[in-house]
Structure 1
């Protein structure tokens, strides 16, 4: 039996969906714990997304569903409760049961999520997308699934690039047909390839990740029709780079950086 969700949950879900279809690109600096969520929220962010890689690293686990789901969900719950923004959770490939994992995520206040296809047979990947969307409907919310295809991540280096892009498009179209509102194609950074995928999927249907030193600026991605750009584990790496650099300078006889702010 479908439960009527709290009004606030439905509102956050609708807000997150609207942010993906708005003319302005949705830019998400991924977070991994409460303080990172609070710091990003304070910049005027309109929504938050967690990074599974970063949360796993926080607890000493390698990426790839090695962190126990209970521990992962507990951290995401803490993030959701710490901010007054829609939160999307990266639940990787769904921990063996995408529908149930989505239901559990919704129970802690999550209103969107990333789901990896890991290049499974397309019918299996589509079934997983359908399970996630069904869980959202059962909860009575418009769950914002960012359906990820690993067509570029797992591509044969010797494969013609055009064939790799065509496969990303094929899978992306299938996920959209299955109800996902947007499709995530990591490692898609070249302007012409982004343009080709947007033309094939439609405007405000594509999400990409910002890669340091390789990606286009968010404003240019917006002009190309991209719906969303996120940062994955790179925001945590920015923080860790600053920490390591500061520690090295201190140990070399210096001081901590001038201008360090009391953000916690």
Structure 2
């Protein structure tokens, strides 16, 4: 599916009508989401890692991650964006080549160093994103994850400063993971790009998150965790 189609889904949306992107972890789950009518999807690295038997946080060999993404993209007729964590240490051009070969039209790229678990310096991350954009041209929707809240920050100003640097080098959207719902409007206005937020148990509904400023709603590994909880209940009933 076209990246243009996927990019267009992020624009011109009413505040209470965010783009809701479920996170498939295999072909079976992807088929369920397509049959339910979702116009696009975003693979979560956490859920795919669990499906493959690895830990989250770049514990999955890149070849296995890209193969899993490719199986999903081949099985569906809607655009798929891929969470590729921090890029698996791949040079930008190689990363872009492998993402496109897997059939994805977008990427999530986080700004936490997987080795130190600390934030990458913003200018260094901006340089990496700029190189990804140069290698991809317009062929990928680049969703730049901003991990300041995840790493203990509480100020939207810090996230906005990073987000503006990422926007300046060609990011299409930003994902200030862990941002409180009441910060979403400030972040969207301050950065000037579509803002992605994750819907988690106890949070406002996806539509309410849209009214609060989010353009795009994803779920991380949450949907797979819910599916596994349901499977555990079934398994317990079988032994009752």
What pairs with 1:33-48 in structure 2 (closer than 5 Å)?
33-48=26-41
What residue in structure 2 maps to residue 152 of structure 1? 149
What residue in structure 2 maps to residue 184 of structure 1? 175
What residue in structure 2 maps to residue 127 of structure 1? 127
What residue in structure 2 maps to residue 199 of structure 1? 189
**Equivalent-residue separation in structure 2 for 1:144 and 1:235 (angstroms):** 23
User: CA contact under 8 A between 2:181 and 2:212: conserved in structure 1?
Assistant: no
- 1:212 pairs with 2:209: no
What pairs with 1:1-264 in structure 2 (closer than 5 Å)?
12-23=2-13, 24-97=17-90, 99=92, 100-118=94-112, 119-137=119-137, 141-155=138-152, 161-162=154-155, 165-191=156-182, 193-202=183-192, 205-213=194-202, 215-252=203-240
**Equivalent-residue separation in structure 1 for 2:180 and 2:75 (angstroms):** 33
**Equivalent-residue separation in structure 2 for 1:178 and 1:131 (angstroms):** 9
Shift of 1:250: 2.2
Any idea what SS the aligned residue of 2:164 has? helix
Moved over 3 A (4+): none
**Equivalent-residue separation in structure 2 for 1:142 and 1:186 (angstroms):** 24
Q: Which runs of 5+ in 2 are unaligned?
A: 113-118
User: CA contact under 8 A between 2:123 and 2:165: conserved in structure 1?
Assistant: no
* RMSD over equivalenced CA pairs, Å: 1.4
User: CA contact under 8 A between 1:17 and 1:142: conserved in structure 2?
Assistant: no
Any idea what SS the aligned residue of 2:217 has? strand
Q: Which runs of 5+ in 1 are unaligned?
A: 1-8, 253-264
**Equivalent-residue separation in structure 2 for 1:41 and 1:232 (angstroms):** 18
Return closer, same or farther for 1:26/1:95 CA change in 2, 3 Å cut-off.
Answer: same
**Equivalent-residue separation in structure 2 for 1:132 and 1:227 (angstroms):** 23
Give the alignment's TM-score, normalised by structure 2: 0.91
Give the alignment's TM-score, normalised by structure 1: 0.83
Shift of 1:98: 5.2
User: CA contact under 8 A between 1:51 and 1:90: conserved in structure 2?
Assistant: yes
User: CA contact under 8 A between 1:209 and 1:232: conserved in structure 2?
Assistant: yes
Any idea what SS the aligned residue of 1:197 has? helix
Any idea what SS the aligned residue of 2:143 has? strand
Between structure 1 and structure 2, the one with the greater Rg is 1
Q: Deviations over 1:209-252 (max 9, x none)?
A: 11111x22122222233210100100100100100111112212
Any idea what SS the aligned residue of 1:147 has? strand
Shift of 1:97: 2.2
